[in-house]
Structures are given as C-alpha cells and as structure tokens.
Amino acid sequence: MTITFITGGNTGLGYESAKRLKRLGHKVYIGSRNEEKGKKAANELNVEYIVIDVTDEESVKKLQMNY
C-alpha cells in the first residue's frame, strides 16, 4: 500500500488529489493549518488528518517527531 501525505489537502487541488489517490487505493493523510476545515475535509474524504503549517519550522518538527 502506498502512503501519501498532501499538504493543503482541505481545499482545491490538494482536496481533489486526495480524493483521487484514495480511490486508487492509497493510504492518504491530508494536512492543513486550519484544523476545523481540515477535519471536515478528512471526514468527507475518509482519510486521516494532520495539523501542519509548512511555513512554520516548529510545526514541521512536531510532525516529524510524531510520525
């Protein structure tokens, strides 16, 4: 199984990419800065959600330590 992490996965191209990859059998994680919108999108897509702000070094480090 391929695992895919998409930043900005709660809207637009990220959301559509997550939808397509999920359909193709990937284990998909989406990330976004806005937790409310991110969780909503993850529930709609039936994927996992991770809070992350890729412009914030501490946010990225936190993700690295947890995964």
* pLDDT tens per residue, range 28-50: 999 999 999 999 999 999 999 99
In this predicted structure, the answer to whether residue 61 has a pLDDT above a threshold of 90 is no
Give helix then strand counts, H and E, for the chain. 3, 3
The DSSP element (H or E) to which 32 belongs, if any, is: strand 27-32
Query: What is the pLDDT confidence band of residue 63, given thresholds at 50, 70 and 90?
Result: confident
Average pLDDT, the chain: 92
**Superfamily of the domain at 3-66:** NAD(P)-binding Rossmann-like Domain (3.40.50.720)
Helix, strand or coil, per DSSP, at residue 50: strand
The model's pTM? 0.87
Query: What is the pLDDT confidence band of residue 27, given thresholds at 50, 70 and 90?
Result: very high
Question: What are the sequence ranges of the domains in the chain?
Answer: 3-66
Regarding beta strands 27-32 and 48-51, do their DSSP bridges make them parallel or antiparallel, or are they unpaired? parallel
In this predicted structure, the answer to whether residue 52 has a pLDDT above a threshold of 80 is yes
Please give the backbone phi and psi of residue 21, each rounded to the nearest 5 degrees, phi first.
Answer: -65, -35
